[in-house]
Amino acid sequence: MSSDIAQIASDGNQVAFSSISLAEIVYLSEKGRISALTLERLLAAVDTTDAVLVEVPFNRDVANALRLVNRTEVPDISDRIIAATALHLGVPVISRDSKIQLSSVNTIW
């Protein structure tokens, strides 16, 4: 996927991520499922001058889009927020989560 992100950057585009992903990174690193350095690496990438990765905060627009993500298809609230953020922005979700991929939400990768 990093080569895909490099291609996105070379095309002058950005990859947006939901702010809830930051909480998930902390949670997963606490459980030992990902490196404890993941959060610092992501934040450093976001803080660069020409950042390819950009954070999208949870706000009322995302909350309204959350209504469009079927709770029976995507039961986890964090995953629903990620999907709703993509719906709000009108872009596909980048996710390996099988429930998101099997839902009516457009996913890639």
pLDDT digits (tens, 9 = 90+) for 70-81: 999 999 999 999
**Quick one: tokens of 24?**
């998930």
What's the average model confidence in pLDDT over 35-57?
93
CATH-assigned architecture of domain 2-108: 3-Layer(aba) Sandwich (3.40)
Whether the Cβ atoms of residue 70 and residue 104 lie closer than 8 Å to each other: yes
91: which residues sit within 8 A by CB, 6+ positions away?
A: 16
- Tokens 């995953």 belong to residue: 79
What residue ranges do the domains of the chain occupy? 2-108
**Quick one: tokens of 64?**
């309204």
Strand partners, 17: 55
pLDDT score of 11: 80
Whether the Cβ atoms of residue 39 and residue 27 lie closer than 8 Å to each other: no
SS3 (DSSP) at 108: strand
pLDDT score of 3: 62
pLDDT score of 29: 97
